[in-house]
Structure formats: C-alpha cells, structure tokens
Amino acid sequence: MNDSRRAQVLRAIVEDFVATNEPVGSKAIVQRHTLGVSPATIRNDMAHLEQEGYIAQPHTSAGRIPTDLGYRMFVDRIDDFKPLTQAERRAIFQLIDGNGDLDDMLDRTVRVLSGLTHQVALIQYPTVSRATIKHIEVVGLGPNRILVVLITDAGQVEQKVVITPGVIDDESLRGIRDEVNTEFSGQKLSKVMSTVTPSTTGAVADGTETEPLGGANSVGAELAAALTQVRAAVTDLVIATREERIIMAGTANLARSGREFGEKMAPILEAFEEQVVLLKLLTSMAEDQEEISVRIGRENTHESFSSTSLVAAEYGHDAGSSARLAVLGPTRMDYPTTITAVRAVAKYVSSVLDQS
C-alpha cells in the first residue's frame, strides 16, 4: 500500500474502531479527521483497502473494520507514541522497586502493567542460567533442621530445608555457611548445573548420610554429612531456578471484552490454564529479535489466541537473566499506548534487576 492517503484512511479506521468498537463509515472519517477530501473519495479509498484485505465490512450497509492485516500495517507504521503521564510513571516507580524478592517484584510488575493497559498482563520468570550465585545463607531451625537459602545476582531467591542426622550448633552452622559460600558464591548457575550428577543430589529430603565431598575437613569430620547435605541442597536449588513459570494479572479484563471474543472466549481461558502454551508463545516471540514484538490475530502460533493480540518485550538481559513480559488483549487494542507501557515497564524492571 503505497498511497499515503489510503494509509491515513486506514489509520483513521483503526483509531476510530478501537475507540468506539463500531464499524467506521466515510462520513465519520471526514467529520473526525482532517484529510481534506470528500466522503466519495474516502469511499473510493476504502474500496481499495477492502480489496487489498486491510479492512472488511461486517455486514451490508455497515462501515468498515480493520482486519489482522490492517492492524499489522497500522502497527508497522506507528511513528508517534504517547508518553506515559507523570501519574503512570509514579505508579511504576512506587510499585516496582528493589525491595522484596523476585517473586514479589514480578507480581507487582504484572499488576502495574495490567492497570496501565486494562488488559491481561503476563510475565515470564527470568531464565537465569547466565546469572551467578550471589550468596548462600544457612540458618538453623532446630536441633537437626537447617534452612538453606540461595540468592542470585538476578534477584531470585530459592530455599530448602535440610534434616541432619545430628545436632548442629551455631558455630558449626557458620562454618558450613562459610564453606559453601567459598565454593559456590560467584559461580554461574550454568556451571553448577553442568556438574550435576545423581551422586550430588538426593540426600536432602531424608537426611541419609552420604560420603563427604571435598572440603569437609575445614569444618570437622563430624560435620561431613551435614555439609554434604547442604551442598546437595544448593545444587537442587540451582536446578530449581530453571523452572519455567508465568505470572498473570488482569484476566478479569477479558470479561469486559467478552462480546468481542464470543465463542472464542472459552478456548482462551482454557489456554491460560496451560502455562506451557503461554511459555511457548512468549518464547516464539523472542525469535522476532525486536525491542517490542507484536503478534496480531492469526500471527499467534496457538489457535486459541487467533482472536487476540500480544505485545511483548524482553527484560533483564543485562542482569544475567532473560525473559519477556507481555500484554494480551483483543485485536481491537490501543497499540500505541500498549507498546509504550510495555516498553517502559520492561526497561524499569531491567534497571531494578541490574541494581539487585
């Protein structure tokens, strides 16, 4: 579509349909937009746009609505993004901060993003195999119970309880903590994962004593079994960081768009229950290699989302973690505002992870 006026007509149809959810006619375009041409000329342009597949007529004597192809052309030509208001920026700064663990921050992030866009917000847990172990805390919970806490430089926190065969006093706990931090702190998670074998895991749950691993002499032979269990727990916690998860917020917003989805609403809700579907969808968007990736209607790889649009961005790349956050809603979406919100939230979350 090389004609600039037809591009303006398409833009007018998309903007008006998004705003009103009603088919757009030529007279409405003339009244609402300054194109400097008559309704007859607009009708001629609309006929060409319909022939080329950018707009469609839902029923006889109605105006026109954008098709998936029309939305795609509109999105590809967006050159004017409305900046976030000061109130919106304050909401991001106040709710997404460095306090708390990664789970809390991601939960706040999707709630903020859903509130900004009035759509469903999704965030993928970061793939932290490039992250490093920042610190390991070892805390006594009782005579023979130890809590092992793994903290990564990407802000992820994992914990596990170890049951020891004997009583471990506070001084011995400090020795174990120093020992495992000396060994593991600063190591990349990917390196620890690459050394995992059956002999280094599995001794955590039942307290079964195993052969001591290297380095046990520094805390005494009598603590070898406890040290072995703590080291195995650290390995298990590193493995746990690989678990792929998604947090969602704002699913109630779909109900407000219910008449747009019609019978397609049920498959969408069913797909939400299968996190693997959403994970595959977000992972496939990473292949676009764009700062902001937009999938419209049938561009989505899963049939359940063929009536939706997804706007996604990567976050956390510089923090040693990598994942995507996204907004999902009907194809009749305010794309400029949504893209602005997704970009801003992704950048802010990345900066928080960089500082953690």
Per-residue model confidence as pLDDT tens digits over 329-350: 999 999 999 999 999 999 888 8
Please tell me the pTM assigned to this model: 0.70
- Tell me what the mean pLDDT of segment 89-118 comes to: 81
**pLDDT of the residue at 104:** 84
Decide if pLDDT at 119 tops 50: yes
**Could you give the percent of the chain with pLDDT greater than 70?**
85
Q: What pLDDT does 73 receive?
A: 95
Q: Cβ neighbours of residue 53 under 8 Å, at least 6 residues apart?
A: 67, 69, 70
**Architecture per CATH, 133-240:** 2-Layer Sandwich (3.30)
Distance CA 88, CA 96 (A): 12
Q: Do domains 4-76 and 133-240 have the same CATH topology?
A: no
By mean pLDDT, which of 25-39, 202-216, 288-302 is the weakest? 202-216
Q: Is the pLDDT of residue 199 over 50?
A: no
- Beta pairing partners, 324: 314
Q: Residue 70 above 70 pLDDT?
A: yes
pLDDT at 214 over 80: no
With a cut of 80, say whether residue 127 has pLDDT above it. Answer: no
Q: What is the pLDDT of residue 197?
A: 53
Of 171 and 190, which is predicted with more confidence? Answer: 171
pLDDT band at 198 (very low <50, low <70, confident <90, very high): very low
Q: What pLDDT was estimated at residue 318? A: 55
Average of per-residue pLDDT values in the chain: 82
Q: Would you kindly state where each structural domain of the chain is located, as residue ranges?
A: 4-76, 86-126+244-355, 133-240
Residue 245: the pLDDT is 80
Q: What pLDDT does residue 20 have?
A: 92
pLDDT at 185 over 70: yes
For residue range 271-317, what is the model confidence (pLDDT) as tens digits? 887 778 888 888 788 777 778 999 999 998 788 888 899 999 998 76
pLDDT at 215 over 60: no
CATH class belonging to 86-126+244-355: alpha beta
Lowest mean pLDDT segment, chosen from 12-26, 197-211, 272-286, 305-319: 197-211
Q: What is the pLDDT of residues 166-181, one digit of tens each?
A: 788 888 899 999 999 9
Give the residue-averaged pLDDT of 187-202: 65
User: What's the fold here for domain 4-76?
Assistant: Arc Repressor Mutant, subunit A (1.10.10)
**Residue 213 confidence class, pLDDT cut points 50, 70, 90:** very low
Q: Provide the pLDDT confidence category of residue 91 given band limits of 50, 70 and 90.
A: confident
Give mean pLDDT, residues 239-254.
Answer: 81
